[in-house]
Chains A and B, each alone.
Chain A
């Protein structure tokens, strides 16, 4: 069962990622990225991270990607122009990517002691706590400081986004909409 689900959703993941590269329109690329993210959520579920799985759907697929599609629709971004810019990036980039992938793959395949994942394992701890209880108890005791720092980061990001979108814009009515976001 686990094997079937893994192959199915890993397939979806890879297909979505490759489609992201092949599509020339930003909105279809965004949709393939959503496919990747939701299938990753299923893989998280298989690995016993139920909270992360649903957070992946809500935060990534439901909020971040909606923002992306919103911007694509707002700017009415057309098809991509296939200019052959930065040839050097390609010439050096592709071999480098292949080399990095090969190195990582060999390391992973040679690694000893990597376990196996079975269905249902890791969903509940031995102490009977659910994944969310476990997660929150660690997050709000040991890692409280990073958590608070993240909230400050988000505050700064909000301010930055508002300042960027407001600054240097001629039309006021388009402006109000974005500061509303």
Chain B
């Protein structure tokens, strides 16, 4: 019967995490609109609900009710498959992310992680690399030259920056000696902010490489060439409308959240508090369980804030600049970081 209990627990966790993730995506969109509005000296959405807080709901309803147009020249099966693939991959990788202390549940059940596996980090990278197909196929099947250009750009960009992204994480893995995300976080937990990988692990170079590669991986400005609206009208999603467009939109924000979660886990100490053991752990069991979640969400929020800030500030790269930057600067720098980290580890 244990297998049945396991299934039920997993189903419950999956349901809760999916709902939270979708809510997170909706409110990230709102956060972006609000913040970009303030950066550009306007209010952003403010009419629906207090401070425009119900705006995501209305946006969702609008996407649902819009007419769903399928252009005549498209290759139907792939045209329909592409948004599902994009959103699916964006949502799946959250399954291995630990949000909080593992040992608070009764009977060895991990409340705050759907599945705790040895290769958690690699699973996230693998699922992200499959996510390329959503964009690539969308552009190809649309039978539109702008879409095709967008998807060609995105597949080249994602392959190029995946290297820098993966290599920047190797330093952390070398320091921890494990690919298990929970172990990586627990290793950083000792003294709070001093032992976080970005400072204590001397991985600040890796952190900045990761940051830039992550911007490119999620097709966010200043690397948003696949959908550069001033050159390609809409890039890979030019021909998509209604809910299918909304799925690409959600996938983009879902990827942002996932990338933020990975940055938090790898470099910023995950769910641990920045004070470390200077602050005694709270006595109340409920507070003890949910305090780590607060830190985790706060860190991811900072990351998302940075995302929007950069989008509101920097202009878009040119395509050859993007490729040069990825291959000539980021990748060699990431390799040097690996070399430096391993020398440092060998020295100790």
Contact = CB atoms under 8 A, between A and B. Distances in A.
Interface string B116-153: 01110011011101101100110110000000100110
Interface residues of A, number: 28
B118 A50 contact: yes
Given A34-B133, A66-B132, A73-B136, A54 B156 contact: no
Given A54-B126, A69-B136, A177-B323, A74 B152 contact: yes
A74 B324 CA distance: 20
Contacts of A55: 122
B156 A181 contact: yes
A132 B173 CA distance: 12
Contact of B151 (A31, A73, A131, A181): A73
A66 B155 contact: yes
A73 B140 CA distance: 7
A170 interface: no
A54 B320 contact: no
A66 B324 CA distance: 20
Interface stretch (A57-65, A81-89, A104-112): A57-65
A58 B132 contact: no
Interface in B248-274: none
A74 B155 CA distance: 11
B43 interface: no
A115 interface: no
Given A180-B323, A181-B160, A66 B152 contact: no
Nearest to A74: B152
Contacts of B205: none
Interface residues of B, number: 33
Nearest to A73: B140
B179 interface: yes
B51 interface: no
A62 B129 CA distance: 5
Given A57-B130, A58-B129, A69-B133, A181 B118 contact: no
Interface in B188-213: none
B119 A70 contact: no
Given A63-B159, A66-B133, A69-B133, A176 B320 contact: yes
A55 B179 CA distance: 13
B92 to A, nearest CB: 12
Contacts of B123: 54
Nearest to A57: B126
B160 A180 contact: yes
A67 interface: yes
B126 to A, nearest CB: 4
B129 A177 contact: no
Contact of B118 (A27, A73, A130, A177): A130
A51 interface: yes
A61 B156 contact: no
Interface of B: 3, 77-78, 117-119, 122-123, 125-127, 129-130, 132-133, 136-137, 139-140, 148, 151-152, 155-156, 158-160, 162, 179, 320, 323-324, 327
21 contacts: A27-B137, A28-B78, A31-B133, A31-B137, A54-B125, A55-B122, A58-B126, A61-B126, A61-B130, A62-B129, A63-B129, A63-B159, A63-B162, A66-B132, A66-B155, A70-B136, A70-B155, A73-B155, A131-B118, A180-B320, A180-B323
3 cross-chain pairs, A with B, having the tightest CB-CB distances, nearest first: A62-B129, A57-B126, A180-B323
